[in-house]
Amino acid sequence: MITVFGSINLDLVVSVPRLPKAGETVSGPDHQSFAGGKGANQALAAGRAGAEVKMVGAVGRDAFAVPALANLREAGIDLSDVRELDGATGLALIGIDPSGENQIIVASGTNARVRADWLEDSLTDAHVLILQGESPYEETIRAMGLARGAGASVFWNPAPVPAGDPGAGLEAVNTLVVNESEAALLAGSLGIADGVDTFLDNVVRPGRAVVVTLGSEGVAAAKGDDRFRFASPSVDAVDTTGAGDAFCGALAAALDHDLPFGRALREGVAAGALACTVTGAQSSAPMKADIVRLADQIV
Ligand code: RIB
């Protein structure tokens, strides 16, 4: 059973000929709107990857709340602890260039007012709690504490990396997932030298696996004394938005089903690759059968 404590957004997406520099305006055609938010994306991805999932977070009392939750509702994700608060639902403004690369500005809205105590009494040792970096860091830390107290496993994707001491978060984590730039930021604040392998060697601990996603290059990871590296299958990428969330959701679902760590990583890599082939952070989250089929081809 997976519980996600995190953000829920509506994404407004514009395809642009190139991503703007600071101070520049770049135009595209009509915008598209999609459900998004790293928390909601990971909840949907885990659900589509076969897990039973509960989402804990907040939306505003506005017109964006319903479309922001529509995919989760349709997928049967438990939304009983998604609160409706005064204020605006989280909003992401996303530009996508022809190679599928993106630039994202997030207006946090009610995501800035989620509270860890909404999780009280709902976590057990049968749970994996997934958290990201779009919720207030102090509430994320409290949520991790509640999870550890209940014997649940803590899965943290600090995207974006929170300001403040990452040590408190790391102490509680069983599975850490970062991309290369997030690893570099964490390494800087932990006083670790550059490099993915150095990061893995310095951050892995007994009871704490560490995963660095490498975009189209795949993934590198450490668990105990074991080291893993899997290349990503090549796909025609149209939109990389949500690829990391698809990776996290599928990896967490596989771990929740007690798959061996190497197989779980392959399923994550397969899900991340498939997510790049469709526009939209949630519309692109692949189904279990497609993940399994592609993961079987990753060696
Ligand atoms: O990871 C992609 C997500 O980041 C988007 O859906 C957007 O809402 C932002 O939170």
Choosing from 245, 256, 258, 296, the catalytic residue is: 245
Cα–Cα dist 179/196, whole Å: 10
Domain around 219: 2-295
Predicted TM-score (pTM) of the model is: 0.96
Residue 11 is a catalytic residue: no
Edge to edge, the sheet with strand 102-107 lists 32-36, 9-15, 90-96, 102-107
pLDDT over 90 (residue 289): yes
Instruction: Please count the structural domains in the chain.
Output: 1
Q: For 78-117, what is each residue's pLDDT tens digit?
A: 999 999 999 999 999 999 999 888 999 999 999 999 999 9
Which pLDDT score is estimated for 202?
97
* E strands, the chain, in order: 2-5, 9-15, 32-36, 53-60, 78-85, 90-96, 102-107, 128-131, 153-156, 175-179, 209-213, 219-223, 226-230
Look over the chain and give the mean of its residue pLDDT values, rounded to a whole number.
96
Average pLDDT in the 252-256 region?
97
Residue 268's CATH number: 3.40.1190.20
pLDDT over 90 (residue 122): no
Which pLDDT score is estimated for 203?
98
Which pLDDT score is estimated for 165?
87
Cα–Cα dist 255/221, whole Å: 14
What's the gap in Å between 252 CA and the centre of ligand 1? 18
Q: Whose CA is nearest to atom 6 of ligand 1?
A: 36
Those residues whose C-beta lies under 8 Å from the C-beta of residue 210, and which sit 6 or more positions away, are: 176, 199, 200, 203, 204, 221, 222, 223
Which pLDDT score is estimated for 121?
81
Q: For 147-170, what is each residue's pLDDT tens digit?
A: 999 999 999 999 999 988 888 899
Q: For 30-64, what is each residue's pLDDT tens digit?
A: 999 999 999 999 999 999 999 999 999 999 999 99
Average pLDDT in the 266-275 region?
98
pLDDT over 90 (residue 120): no
Which pLDDT score is estimated for 160?
96
Which of 10, 64, 106, 110 most suits a substitution to test ligand 1, by most atoms within 8 Å of the C-beta? 106
What's the gap in Å between 63 CA and the centre of ligand 1? 19
